[in-house]
Structure 1
Amino acid sequence: MAHSPITPLRRAVSPGSRAGSPYTVLVVMCAGYFLVLLDVTIVNVALPAIGSAQGTDVGGLQWVVDGYALALASLMLTSGTAGDRYGHKRVVLTGLAVFGLGSLGCGLAPDVPVLVAARVVQGLGAALLLPGTLAIIGRAFPDSAERARAIGVWAGIGSLALPAGPLLGGALTDGLGWRAIFLVNVPIVLLALVWSAAVVRESRGEHAPPLDLPGLLLGGLTLLATTYAFIEGGRSGAASPGVVAAAAVAVAALAGLAVVELRRGDDTAMIPPSLLRRPAFAVANTAAGVMNLCTLGTLFLLTLFLQSVQHRSALAAGVALLPLFTPLAVFALLGGRITSRIGSRAPAVTGLLVAAAGLALLTRADAHSGPGLLVPAFLLWGIGCGLLTPAVVAAAIAAVPGERSGLASAVNNTARQTGGAIGIAVAGAIAGLPTDPADFLRGFHTVTLGSAVLYTATAVLCTCLLGERSSAGRGNP
């Protein structure tokens, strides 16, 4: 009997397909997770090269970064439900394929609009891929102790993507050009796609709720309109008709989202309303959003500062950022142990205040600042965020009933991605491009000082509303 060319692929994604070793599954899922996080940071050091080659302004560069972040934030919650409903293997394979196509499109893009569109495709693939990797690892390791160790490996590999992004991005940009930071994904994705199809067994939830498509569309529209208003406000002024219209759309979409989610109720809403009424859950996700709003917004300007104001190469800028990303990765792992012992409040508050001190130091940075200022600032900033990240995740999970822990983690991740997308838009609108270094530095200092103040205010909020122990209040309103 003749077989069609897609018969092997159909067999690979069928529920009865043969599974590989759990550790083989772990390796290939970690590879996919690594790529997703790598593309959060790898692009930043290539921004000056992209701007020079494509002749775009700061708004264009913001969309290059935010195209990925917006798609990732908008689809994150829904993709987890899609995996439960349609099968995590199918969703992960689809995510890998979409991410690979987006990477190829970015590498071949002839202009900025096409590059931004390809970045959106990349982000959609990443959003499909990210929640499914953890779900598949959980199914591959039924023993709780082995599962915990496997998840630790998964988290550690993800942490390595943070310092690897600027370093690899700088080396590829200087050596092969900015397109290489995207094209390098393609062969890795192809290998991961074939390998995943061969070794991962299909799995799905037994009672998966239907997809919340109205919530998905209204949430995405809210985030898109908000980001557009900030980016275009920086270009044409806050009172321009396009910015006013975008702000009105954002408010209307947010109001519509609230109405839709309240009507759907806890069982089918994308974000169950009852969870948002829990103060500890709300403040944990607020802190997560603030963390990325300040971190990714400042990082967007920082890479422009290092290359366009201090005239470093892309690789030198990537090396200069290692004191920021290396402790962030290391302390994210250590912070998890600290949080498990003493609870979320102390690490979260300490992390926010330490990061605020690092950002405050950057208000003194100028064209001649060297390691004596930058290294302590980056170390404090990175250590603070490393302590904060596991603390806010643990606090969000501890604030809800045990059976909603997966959803709590997904909401926390979405809050971080949403904060990052808006932070990039706000920071770029304030500082603009460094064509006038003095004017850019004033904007850069405004962003760093504002971030330090916002971190400090969030620390006060966490002090008041987070429980002393990460397990405190689980399941309580």
Structure 2
Amino acid sequence: MSTVAPASEDLAHGRRMGVLAICCLSLFIVGIDATGVNLALPSIRRDLGADGSQLQWVIDAYTLVLASLLMLAGSTGDRLGRRRVFQCGLVLFGVGSLLCSAAQTPGVLIAARTAQAAGGSMLNPVAMSIITNTFREPKERAQAIGIWGATVGLSMALGPVLGGVLVDSIGWRAIFWLNIPVVVAAIVLSSLFVPESRADRVRRLDPLAQALVVALLASLTFGIIEGRTFGWGSATVLGCFAGAGVALVVLVAHELRRTEPLLDPRFFASIPFSGAVASAILGFCAMGGFLFLNTLYLQDVRQLSPLQAGLMTLPMAGATALMSPISGRVVGVVGPRLPMLVAGGGIALSGTMLLRIEDGTSFAYLGLAYLAFGIGFGMLNAPITNAAVSGMPRAQAGVAAAIASTSRQVGMSLGVATLPTVTYAHLHGPASTGLAAASHTAWSLVAGCGVGVAVLALVTTSRAAIRTRDRVAAELGAA
């Protein structure tokens, strides 16, 4: 008996770790595609004849759809079966990847990216539900979620490096080919090792709220990206911003009346939760703009190859990979304030350093700026997730985590929409001679995002903020 029981437990633990590995594998390719395509943008522009706004849409079509559908995908997995929805997401992500690799025009590539993202949206929240259902013991579950969070951050950081290697050695289409064998392997392995599960009680669908979320994000992003083309005072752009405002007002009013809302407005009465959402938006806005602008700077201004440009981001990727698990441990010991302060400080320092870049700035200086950003970004994910779900009733923790994940994608979309648009507005002449100076305003915004994260770290961890969290948790638990 004494030998059989441990052996049985070891086998069960091994199966649980296998499930975690499968979930992390699928999320890794989603993160790679969210950031790795940045290194391919100059090549895509040359091959497909894309202009600046179309390049922005190549990135934002992906992140916008992810942000819009994450909540729906999570509830669909609870309803229809998490493994089934997870596998459907893998298939759709694979098909979208094939269509991306075959695109011959910018429009087709952008459309294929939306299909790819629709599949990707089924992987993130459903994988979290699978992990939560598989790891029942609290300490083991916390460790599994920590590994999952580190995988997300690591994949986004390594995306530019891997993208640079593939673009330089094979071509930009190879970034999408890479997904196919991973998708096939994940489908087969999930059939063998991931148990099917559903929620004990399924939340009701909220199609109007889902439509309003899509309308809000799409109209806001379209107005920002296309404002330079149509004119900031044009009826089209002003109509987009007005439509986004109307969608937000109607969404809040609608959700307050529902017993099972898609986005429960009561969550936002908790200062730590609202701060987690705002920190995610600010931090990932900085990340989206950082990757987009540095890609153009390194390849168009400094004339680096995609591989060389990807290798230049290694300080950022390495620091992110190193700091992500450290951040999780620090959060578990002392709480989220210290990691968030370091995160905000690192991002602010990097933005401030990049304010000084010129056409001939030394690569050593750039490496230090990238290292600072990686340290800050690596420390960000764990406290965001912790602040979002901490104190929430267990039945609501998944929804809170999904909102935090959505906020990350919203931030990435806004960063790609806003910071390059600000840069293009100051660009006079070819990018090869004017991009560095034109980007200075954008880098000041990145620094501002870092300062915002640091301020939120102090506000959201105060005693008054904790009281609002406990009050909201009690109200939600009673409901």
**TM-score, normalisation: structure 1:** 0.91
- Displacement after TM superposition at 1:310 (Å): 0.6
- Displacement after TM superposition at 1:459 (Å): 2.2
2:172 is matched with 178
3-state SS in 2 of match to 1:462: helix
Q: Counterpart amino acid of 1:280?
A: P
Q: Counterpart amino acid of 2:389?
A: I
Q: 1:447 aligns with which of 442, 445, 459?
A: 442
Q: Deviations over 1:334-365 (max 9, x none)?
A: 01111121111232123202220111100111
Any conservation in 1 of the 2:39–2:163 contact (CA below 8 Å)? yes
Change (3 A) 1:121 1:253: same
3-state SS in 2 of match to 1:337: helix
State how far apart, in whole Å, the 1-side matches of 2:453 and 2:186 are: 40
Q: Deviations over 1:375-401 (max 9, x none)?
A: 111111111122222112212222534
1:476 is matched with 471
Q: 2:205 aligns with which of 208, 211, 220?
A: 211
State how far apart, in whole Å, the 2-side matches of 1:35 and 1:354 are: 26
Q: 1:459 aligns with which of 454, 459, 476?
A: 454
State how far apart, in whole Å, the 2-side matches of 1:428 and 1:284 are: 25
- Displacement after TM superposition at 1:79 (Å): 1.3
Q: 2:293 aligns with which of 288, 301, 307?
A: 301
Q: Counterpart amino acid of 2:457?
A: C
Q: 1:246 aligns with which of 225, 230, 240?
A: 240
- Displacement after TM superposition at 1:445 (Å): 1.0
- Displacement after TM superposition at 1:472 (Å): 7.4
3-state SS in 2 of match to 1:261: helix
Unaligned runs of 5+ residues in structure 1 are 1-19
1:368 is matched with 360
3-state SS in 2 of match to 1:47: helix
Any conservation in 2 of the 1:91–1:128 contact (CA below 8 Å)? yes
Mapped pair 1:103 → 2:100: no
Alignment of 1:56-455 (within 5 A): 56-264=50-258, 267-398=259-390, 400-432=392-424, 435-455=430-450
State how far apart, in whole Å, the 2-side matches of 1:426 and 1:285 are: 18
Change (3 A) 1:422 1:124: same
| Greater alpha carbon shift after TM alignment, 133-142 vs 38-47 | 133-142
State how far apart, in whole Å, the 1-side matches of 2:300 and 2:97 are: 26
Q: Deviations over 1:104-163 (max 9, x none)?
A: 010001111110011011111111111111222233333444434433433343343134
Any conservation in 2 of the 1:398–1:473 contact (CA below 8 Å)? no
State how far apart, in whole Å, the 2-side matches of 1:436 and 1:151 are: 42
| Greater alpha carbon shift after TM alignment, 44-53 vs 428-437 | 428-437
Any conservation in 2 of the 1:37–1:158 contact (CA below 8 Å)? yes
State how far apart, in whole Å, the 2-side matches of 1:82 and 1:70 are: 19
2:11 is matched with none
State how far apart, in whole Å, the 1-side matches of 2:154 and 2:338 are: 25
Any conservation in 2 of the 1:77–1:410 contact (CA below 8 Å)? yes
State how far apart, in whole Å, the 2-side matches of 1:470 and 1:256 are: 28
State how far apart, in whole Å, the 2-side matches of 1:451 and 1:244 are: 25
State how far apart, in whole Å, the 2-side matches of 1:468 and 1:107 are: 52
Change (3 A) 1:146 1:462: closer
Alignment of 1:4-43 (within 5 A): 21-43=15-37
- Displacement after TM superposition at 1:251 (Å): 1.5
State how far apart, in whole Å, the 1-side matches of 2:270 and 2:143 are: 30
State how far apart, in whole Å, the 2-side matches of 1:359 and 1:466 are: 25
Q: Counterpart amino acid of 1:319?
A: L
- Displacement after TM superposition at 1:301 (Å): 0.9
Any conservation in 2 of the 1:287–1:458 contact (CA below 8 Å)? yes
- Displacement after TM superposition at 1:468 (Å): 6.7
Q: Counterpart amino acid of 1:420?
A: M
Any conservation in 2 of the 1:234–1:428 contact (CA below 8 Å)? no
State how far apart, in whole Å, the 2-side matches of 1:21 and 1:62 are: 41
Any conservation in 2 of the 1:344–1:470 contact (CA below 8 Å)? no
Change (3 A) 1:399 1:229: farther
Q: Give the aligned length.
A: 456
Percent identity among equivalent residues?
Answer: 36
- Displacement after TM superposition at 1:474 (Å): 5.0
3-state SS in 1 of match to 2:340: helix
- Displacement after TM superposition at 1:52 (Å): 0.9
Q: Counterpart amino acid of 1:299?
A: L
RMSD value over aligned CA atoms?
2.1
State how far apart, in whole Å, the 2-side matches of 1:229 and 1:439 are: 25
Change (3 A) 1:470 1:169: farther
Change (3 A) 1:249 1:356: same
Unaligned runs of 5+ residues in structure 2 are 1-13, 473-479
Any conservation in 1 of the 2:271–2:465 contact (CA below 8 Å)? no
3-state SS in 1 of match to 2:439: helix
State how far apart, in whole Å, the 1-side matches of 2:154 and 2:277 are: 24
Any conservation in 2 of the 1:399–1:472 contact (CA below 8 Å)? no
- Displacement after TM superposition at 1:235 (Å): 2.3
Change (3 A) 1:141 1:284: closer
Change (3 A) 1:158 1:273: closer
Q: Counterpart amino acid of 2:305?
A: S
Change (3 A) 1:328 1:269: same
Q: Counterpart amino acid of 1:97?
A: V
